A and B are shown apart, each in its own frame.
Chain A
Amino acid sequence: MTTRIYVSRDSTALAFGADAVARALEAEAKKRGVDATVVRNGSRGMFWLEPLVEIDTPTGRIGYGPIKPADVPALFDAGFERSNVHGLRVGPIDGITFFERQERLTFARVGITDPLSVEDYREHHGWRGLENALAMTPEDIVKTVTDSGLRGRGGAAFPAGIKWKTVLGTESTQKYIVCNADEGDSGTFSDRMLMEGDPLCLVEGMTIAGLAVGATQGYIYLRSEYPHAFRALNAAIANAYAAGYLGADIRGTSRRFDLEVRLGAGAYICGEETSLLDSLEGKRGQVRFKPPLPAIKGLFGQPTVINNVISLASVPIILDRGADFYKDYGVGRSRGTLPLQLAGNLKHTGLVEKAFGVTLRELLYDYGGGSYSGRPIRAVQVGGPLGAYLPESQFDTIVDYEAFAAVGAMLGHGGIVAFDDTVDMLEQARYAMEFCSIESCGKCTPCRIGSTRGVEVLDRIRAGIERDKNIVVLKDLFETMRFGSLCAMGGLTPDPVRSALEHFPQDFEVRA
């Protein structure tokens, strides 16, 4: 029997040279006459082990990592196909503490299956949600999603079921499902990992959404910075069409759903849903006034469900296992699981899918292992460039939308970026304003001009020019941007700045 060896094709694994490792494994197996095939899977989400090599052995699937091409002959010498000991053997992945304490629902298959194989997907519980949905009324599908408590995972945390219900209830000959895959927040990569590691899960989730609201066309709006996800999605969609899971006659039911990937072009604002829709229509990605809501007048003026990748990819398991199964995870009004992304200056970075309720401290230290540099962690930015910086005193905040809001922070898309004590918080505050000035769509003045003024004011504070007066100006600017901006970009840019000023005031003092 052919032995399966797994090497990830995830972007981060590729950045560490996974392609060369895969080639070396294939060449060495051939040279030694070993009957083996290399499967290019997603990443398990433990980046310090990448490139991770896993192999099916008589005693189960065993991992070795991080592996360099030069390590490959020694792996064969040690008899790794028989699970023998080798210096880089990490054993069964399920047994690694970082991994075994996770609750992987949305990411159940990522790093395990061949991402492009429709068969492999089916063998690992894939398509079950869709099969259930095909036998349900649209109302029942929407009710299941509503009852699961699923809230939008892109950052705004709006209940997915309510959005769907609005689209279902709006009459139109053409409706759309749009997936927001413009994952621009620094510190986030769960969308990318899901699209590279289990793209069929997104295909299934979007198809179910189409059945639920009566939409026959879906678009995945993918950021152009994700070339590997683009390839994986296109290949997975082609395979799904070939197997009858997409197209005019889904699995012989005469139901239709077509799906296409569209590339963005390097504009952070296009992660804002109305900008994204304008961009999909071939225009400048400028924010629209709301109302009308996209659910009523969205893409090309038609009723549109627009959800984040993780929201849509969580739908198959909800339709497979039921609303109650999903709802049983989590705390308060944050139900289910959130794929958290450990990033920045942490020793063990990667993906941790956990039920809501885990503390930031557990994530930073129990999972993340503390800082990468070995220095104390001073500040943590959660929720991307519009998220607040949290000081050590707030590390016991639990992962819950409301708990984060209560401390003036934002959970957002679940990205956690740690900084050690060498960080200059005035510089971070300035960068937040600079980023907004670079990425503002320009439609509203508080965002476009406010961010530019913000950079100037912070430069004066740094230079010690009328420091106290400029702090007053800065705080006034927070108000203007927060309440005067058209969307969350201008509205939330003050948050990282305000939190830096509030929790790290010493960095804003006049410097000697």
Chain B
Amino acid sequence: MAKSANRPIQNPAPRDMLPPDVSAKVRAALDANRERPGALLPVLHAVQDSVGYVPDDAVPLIAHDLNLSRAEVHGVISFYHHFRTHAPGRHVVRICRAEACQALGARALEAHAKKTLGVDFHQTTKDGAITLEAVYCLGNCGCGPSVLVDPDELHARVTPETFDALVGAMREVSK
């Protein structure tokens, strides 16, 4: 037993079910990060940044490469709100639900957004333009309600009216 424990365990590589372009992105994410201590989160970030989400079929590849079980990788993906397993809409709109924004009308904004977009949190509009997400604090607590569009476009003092304008502009551009 002791002898076999010292031998590097290498399970056979899993079958790659990903489309070639996505597979290349996943492999690039692994190449760039596998040597880092605690590599899984950096790998998942890199996959989501380049692919837009972490496809289920990427899990066996990541698990094999980092010598983790599929359950461990799945467990990490499902633990963190940031990681998603399905392609988002063309834009991701995150509305802050936290207290400082509530004090300035975030509850009404949240209701308005769900109603006008016709979706709940974590869902995408029928035209594929917008994925609505909840976020718990964007650090813009002095000037809420706060909305983050895509990776880094922050908006302050968002009212239902300015929200509609914002969404309208996004749909216009992404047509």
Q: Which residues of chain A have a CB within 8 Å of any CB of chain B? A: 11-12, 14-16, 47, 183-189, 192, 224-228, 262-268, 279-285, 300, 341-346, 349-350, 372, 381, 385, 415, 417-420, 423, 427-428, 431, 435, 438-439, 441
On whether the beta carbons of A228 and B99 are closer than 8 Å, the reply is no
Given A224-B82, A285-B80, are A345 and B156 neighbors across the interface (CB < 8 Å)?
Answer: no
Given A280-B38, A281-B38, A343-B141, are A417 and B103 neighbors across the interface (CB < 8 Å)?
Answer: yes
Interchain CA distance A418-B104 in the complex, whole Å: 9
- What are 20 A-B contacts with C-beta separation under 8 Å? A184-B137, A186-B99, A224-B45, A225-B137, A228-B152, A265-B83, A268-B136, A282-B38, A283-B38, A283-B40, A283-B76, A344-B141, A345-B104, A415-B141, A417-B100, A417-B141, A420-B103, A435-B136, A439-B136, A441-B79
Interchain CA distance A395-B161 in the complex, whole Å: 35
Q: How many A-B residue pairs have CB under 8 A?
A: 150
On whether the beta carbons of A343 and B142 are closer than 8 Å, the reply is yes
Given A285-B80, A431-B102, are A350 and B138 neighbors across the interface (CB < 8 Å)?
Answer: no
- Segment at the interface with A among B11-19, B112-120, B124-132, B143-151: B143-151
Given A265-B80, A344-B141, are A16 and B99 neighbors across the interface (CB < 8 Å)?
Answer: no
In the complex, what residue of chain A is closest to B150 when comparing beta carbons?
A227
Interface of chain A: mostly helix, strand, loop or mixed: mixed
- Excluding A183-B137, A263-B45, A343-B144, 13 further A-B contacts by CB distance (< 8 Å) are A186-B99, A188-B137, A189-B142, A227-B152, A267-B82, A268-B136, A283-B76, A342-B142, A343-B141, A385-B99, A435-B98, A439-B136, A441-B79
Chain A residues whose C-beta falls within 8 Å of the C-beta of B81 in the assembled complex:
265-267
Most buried by A among B44, B76, B100: B100
Chain A residues whose C-beta falls within 8 Å of the C-beta of B101 in the assembled complex:
186
Interchain CA distance A281-B135 in the complex, whole Å: 24
Interface of chain B: mostly helix, strand, loop or mixed: loop
Interchain CA distance A341-B140 in the complex, whole Å: 11
Interchain CA distance A309-B45 in the complex, whole Å: 23
Given A344-B103, A385-B99, are A263 and B41 neighbors across the interface (CB < 8 Å)?
Answer: yes
On whether the beta carbons of A187 and B135 are closer than 8 Å, the reply is no
